[in-house]
Amino acid sequence: MSPSFPGEFEQMVLLAILQQGDGAFALEVRREIEESAGRSVSRGAFYTTLDRLERKGFVRWEERMPRDSRRTAPLRRFEVTAAGLEALRTSRQALETLWRGLDDVLETS
Amino acid sequence: MNPDPHRLPSWARRVLEWALPGGVRGASIRGDLGEEWGERPPGPTRTTWLVLEVIRLVFHYRIRPVAGGGGGMGGGTGVWRFALRRMAKDPGFSVLAILTTALGIGATVALFSVVQAVLLDPLPYRSPDDLVAVFEAHRPREISRNVANPGNVAAWRGVRALEGAEAVVLAQPRVVSQPGEPREVMSSIVTPGYLELLGVDLAEGTGFTPAAGAGDGNQVVLTRDGWNELFGGTPGAVGQSVVVNGQSARVVGVLPPTHLPFADGALLLMGMPLEAMGDQTNTGRFLNVVARLAPGSAVDAARLELEGVMAGLREAHPDFNAGWDVEVESLRAVVLGDLQAPLWTLLAAGSLLLLVACVNVANLTLARATERQAEMAVRSALGASGGRLAGQLVVESLLLAGVGGVVGVGLAWVATRVLTPGLLEAFALPRLGDVGLDGSVLAFAAAVTTATGLVFGLAPAWGAVRRGPAETLGAEGRGPSRRTGRLRRGLVVAEVALSVMLLTSAGLLVRSFRTLAAVDTGFEAERVVTGRINLTGERYRGAEPDLLFYADLETRLAALPGVEAFGGVSFLPLDGLGSATSYYPADRPVPPRDQWSVADIRPVVGDYFGAMGIERVAGRTFEATDDADSPRVIVVNRSLAEEAWPGEDPLGRPLAINWSDLEPWTVVGVVDDVVHTGMDQAPRPMVYHTLRQAPYFSFMTLALRTRAGDVAGAVAGLRSAVAAIDPAVPVTRVRAMDDLVRTATARPRMTAFLVTLFAGAAAALAAVGLYGVLAFAVARRVREIGVRMALGARATDVVALVTGQGLRLVALGLVLGLGGAALGSRVFEALLFGITAHDPWAFAAAGALFAVVGTAASVIPALRAVRILPGRALREE
């Protein structure tokens, strides 16, 4: 697999999973993105992106028992894989390289 | 509290189980959605949110992949954005399609919300399926669903198949003199266990004690309306006392807003034990009975057991019970009874309109697909698969349908609000308070919308799949393929047929309504105003004060210049209530008890027949000299005279009436028949007597015939005359007799009106569809027509050519539509009065109407075709 950069939304999902740490359940991850990005996230697009990240090998998940005894449906806890971390790192480096020296230009606008 | 607040409603779970991926993946998505559902406050906002989320998930997981999400078209939302762009590019088409869809969806959803609230939701009682209504019935006299005697009901209570049986007396006006001013309030007497049997919980208070109305003192339970009326809806009503017909009673409970079987319109319920209501020896039949089946018992078992008990009761009280039997029906059938047919008919009519709308939009889409053949062909040549193109078309249709659906739900929302008062009045709907766009109605709307989009999107999509690029590109410039043309013509025929079916239904209902409205009521309602008087309390103890009151009132009203005639009767025609008893001609041998006939019986005061315009057929009516000291006389109606003394002169004959005694009354006059129980009911035998000779009614409905139709003046005169005699007597339920007649025909009028509305809309859509197809055909044949005209074809030939093409479609649609109507109209035979379901006039009118509309829709494009100049037609090449 060539060094594929994760897309913007994919990056946001990966970062949100990392932010949530041990508690990276789908519901919380989606909320984290909505809160920090300040925009609503389509439910379908979100779950499809998780599936895509899984296919790319950037995340993995495990089934957990519900914390709330009243919830009977299973929960999925997500984790960013080493490949996912690597992709994020590569992407960040690339962006930082591109950002270099542009602070003046961008801050005035 | 719900034990599992995260549990989604079953419709959502079912839809999602189908739409989402299987296994843990899908289950966890459902769980996440459920968790958010559980966190939101319950209510319509939450339901709307869920409906939208479910729709979006369905689109995301089910429709987008089919429509070609991912790659190519930009994937994801790209296909939708593209559809949106297409929609904006052709606003005329889009608006037309959206409005058409919205019309159909709006009509269907609005009616579904009514049907769901009234017919589909379970009755609002505990285990409502176990509730039955028990009646008495007299088969030899063809009397069914009759009220029951308290002694008989007491015996029914011992039956093993019943867990309990409680009784209700239909609501009657009583005067409440505390709290507040004296006023008439509708109230029902119920046995103390009535509310408990239904399983209706009180909003406040503990309810009747078992000896309410007897050892435990008088007790009343207020309905929500009664609480508002008497206590202004303020807390603390429980424990207060109210004075009903001069008797003090304690408020022991307040009900939530709900429907109570057999107590429609009651503002307060008065508890009275069955034992205190009398038995076979001292009272008649006046109880409605609600019973609960014992666990595991069936209606048939209860009926069998009750029939056994009733056989014993016939033996024990032969005088009273001879010929009487029991009838057991599910409470649901009794409460909803005659609402089922009209409501289902309306929903069916709304659905037919939706179908016509779908076909119409499909046709529009097909026409447009033809215009877009080049685009499709290019995309196909560039590698888009047939499936992808079809998917795109389906997405476009779904988008149009979706917008149409949203607009339609808005229309339905407005419609339920605008129509609710009319429906409430027309149908006397028992539970209309619940009608609204709740979750299941919205889910229904979403399902209908999706189905609509698929129905009108699939036809063109199918066309796109079947055509290869070569075929399409090769055909360019020469218009649509033969196949598409055939499909469009087929759709038009379907549209015409469906609208003719609707028009025929409307024709039948309108004819039936007109027949009903033209029924001779036997009285002249114009210029008559009515109002009710109830003389209760200390002042009117005994008969004398009542008679003095009416005599005084008559003198005072006679002095009014605007009043032509004045009279009063216990129960007005068409006002719902009445009293009846059995009788036999006393100049013949006394027939066995079970062969006595039944007659309605009414006391009258003043010149009742003159005021109501009821025609005297023979003899005289009542005179001032007919009083307590003179011989007892009666006036009978034509039906009774014919039944009792067929072919003979009834005047001077004796009639024994099973009322207070069996001493015969003498017939002194015969008047015309009057419809009493309903416009569609045949008049029944009727006995009138003057209140002066049998003064046992405390309330009277007064009727004033005004001279110049000055209703306001007459009402003011009546009120001031009553106030001058006794200011404490209220005049209530002031209504024009005209209104009573209108109310009696309100239901068929409403049904006919709505179906006509739908039929008109459907016919208009069909005409537009027909016009569209023909106009399109003309446009396609511009060159041919131009050449024909250049070669000397006359304008009439061209008009005949195009019109003929249209008329062939109309004719085919007419045949199919009238045939379909002939097969289908039996369904609502129960709604028709005075005509059959195959009424030739209705069929002819519907056929003729659409023939005219269809001809117009065909002639216009033909005339436009003629205007094509040969030059222009040839230039277009």
Residue pLDDT, tens place only, B211-250? 888 888 899 999 988 998 889 888 888 999 999 888 899 9
| CATH number for the domain whose boundaries are A8-108 | 1.10.10.10
Is B53 in the A-facing interface, judged by CB distances under 8 Å?
yes
The pLDDT tens digits for A46-97 are: 999 999 999 999 999 998 877 666 677 888 999 999 999 999 999 888 888 8
Rg over CA atoms, chain B = 34
- Is residue B89 predicted with pLDDT exceeding 50? yes
Is B851 in the A-facing interface, judged by CB distances under 8 Å?
no
Q: What is the pLDDT of residue B63?
A: 66
Q: Which amino acid is at B119?
A: L
Structure pTM?
0.69
For residue B49, the SS3 value is helix
Closest among B490, B500, B492 to B848, alpha carbons compared: B500
- Is residue B91 predicted with pLDDT exceeding 70? yes
For residue B2, being part of any structural domain is answered with: no
Q: What is the pLDDT of residue A18?
A: 92
Residue pair B214/B276 in contact by the 8 Å Cβ criterion? yes
Q: Tell me what the mean pLDDT of segment B255-262 comes to.
A: 86
Q: Are residues B504 and B455 part of one domain?
A: no
For residue B578, the SS3 value is coil
| Yes or no, beta carbons of B6 and A76 under 8 Å apart | no
Q: Are residues B572 and B654 part of one domain?
A: yes
Is A64 in the B-facing interface, judged by CB distances under 8 Å?
no
Is A65 in the B-facing interface, judged by CB distances under 8 Å?
no
Q: Which amino acid is at B41?
A: P
| Yes or no, beta carbons of B29 and A70 under 8 Å apart | no
**For the ranges A96-100, B294-298, B384-388, B844-848, which has the lowest average pLDDT?**
B384-388
Q: Are residues B595 and B506 part of one domain?
A: no
Is B8 in the A-facing interface, judged by CB distances under 8 Å?
no
Residue pair B464/B393 in contact by the 8 Å Cβ criterion? yes
- Is residue B835 predicted with pLDDT exceeding 90? no
Better-scored residue on pLDDT, B154 or B74: B154
Provide, as residue numbers in chain B, all residues whose Cβ is less than 8 Å from the Cβ of A48.
Answer: 60
Kindly give the residue spans of alpha helices, DSSP state H, lying in B194-260. 194-198, 224-231
Q: Are residues B657 and B804 part of one domain?
A: no
Residue extents of the structural domains in chain A? 8-108
| Yes or no, beta carbons of B28 and A26 under 8 Å apart | yes
Phi then psi dihedrals of residue B582, to 5 deg:
-100, 160
Q: Which amino acid is at B866?
A: V
Closest among A40, A41, A38, A20 to A29, alpha carbons compared: A20
The pLDDT tens digits for B697-749 are: 778 899 999 887 777 888 888 899 999 998 888 888 888 888 888 888 888 88
Q: What is the pLDDT of residue B876?
A: 53
Q: What is the pLDDT of residue B250?
A: 93
For residue B31, being part of any structural domain is answered with: no
What b/e string do you get for A71-106 counting C-beta neighbours within 10 Å, with b at 16 or more?
bebbbbbbebbeebeebbeebeeeeeeeeeeeeeee
pLDDT band at B3 (very low <50, low <70, confident <90, very high): low
Q: What is the pLDDT of residue B650?
A: 92
Given B294, B322, B350, the domain boundary residue is: B322
- Is residue B32 predicted with pLDDT exceeding 80? yes
Q: Are residues B553 and B437 part of one domain?
A: no
What b/e string do you get for B639-655 counting C-beta neighbours within 10 Å, with b at 16 or more?
bbbbbbbeeeebbebeb
- Is residue B97 predicted with pLDDT exceeding 90? no
Chain A residue with CA closest to B30: the answer is A73
Alpha carbon of A88: minimum distance to chain B alpha carbons (Å) = 23
Q: Tell me what the mean pLDDT of segment B639-667 comes to.
A: 90
Q: Tell me what the mean pLDDT of segment B602-629 comes to.
A: 91
Q: Are residues B462 and B438 part of one domain?
A: yes
Is B26 in the A-facing interface, judged by CB distances under 8 Å?
no
pLDDT band at B482 (very low <50, low <70, confident <90, very high): low
CA distance B450 to B66: 15
Q: What is the pLDDT of residue B870?
A: 56
ipTM for this model: 0.88
| Yes or no, beta carbons of B24 and A71 under 8 Å apart | no
Q: Mean pLDDT in chain A? A: 85
Which residue range is the domain that position B791 belongs to?
A: 494-515+746-875
Q: How far is CA B171 from CA B136, B262, B764, in A?
A: 19, 8, 47
The pLDDT tens digits for B297-311 are: 899 999 999 999 999
Q: Is the dihedral of CA B854, B856, B857, B859 positive or negative?
A: positive
Distance spanning both ends of chain B, measured CA to CA = 75
Q: Are residues B358 and B274 part of one domain?
A: no
Q: Are residues B403 and B309 part of one domain?
A: no
Q: What is the pLDDT of residue A3?
A: 53
Specify whether the backbone of B207 is left (phi greater than 0), alpha (psi in -120 to 50) or beta.
left
Is B13 in the A-facing interface, judged by CB distances under 8 Å?
no
Q: Are residues B796 and B660 part of one domain?
A: no
- Is residue B1 predicted with pLDDT exceeding 50? no
Q: Tell me what the mean pLDDT of segment B822-845 comes to.
A: 86
- Percentage of chain A beyond pLDDT 70 is 90
Is A48 in the B-facing interface, judged by CB distances under 8 Å?
yes
Q: What is the pLDDT of residue B651?
A: 93
| Yes or no, beta carbons of B30 and A73 under 8 Å apart | yes
For residue B552, the SS3 value is helix
State both tokens at B241: 């006392």
CA distance A79 to A61: 6
What b/e string do you get for B4-38 counting C-beta neighbours within 10 Å, with b at 16 or more?
ebbbbbebbeebbeebbeeebbbbbbbbbbbbbbb
- Is residue B69 predicted with pLDDT exceeding 50? no
Alpha carbon of A25: minimum distance to chain B alpha carbons (Å) = 9
Q: Specify the DSSP class assigned to residue A5.
A: P
Number of domains into which chain B is organized: 4
Q: Are residues B563 and B476 part of one domain?
A: no
| Yes or no, beta carbons of B28 and A70 under 8 Å apart | no
Q: Mean pLDDT in chain B? A: 83
The pLDDT tens digits for B486-536 are: 778 888 898 899 989 989 999 998 998 888 888 888 999 888 999 988 887
Phi then psi dihedrals of residue B534, to 5 deg:
-130, 115
| Yes or no, beta carbons of A43 and B29 under 8 Å apart | yes
Better-scored residue on pLDDT, B440 or B326: B326
| Yes or no, beta carbons of B31 and A71 under 8 Å apart | yes
| Yes or no, beta carbons of B57 and A43 under 8 Å apart | yes
CA distance B254 to B236: 10
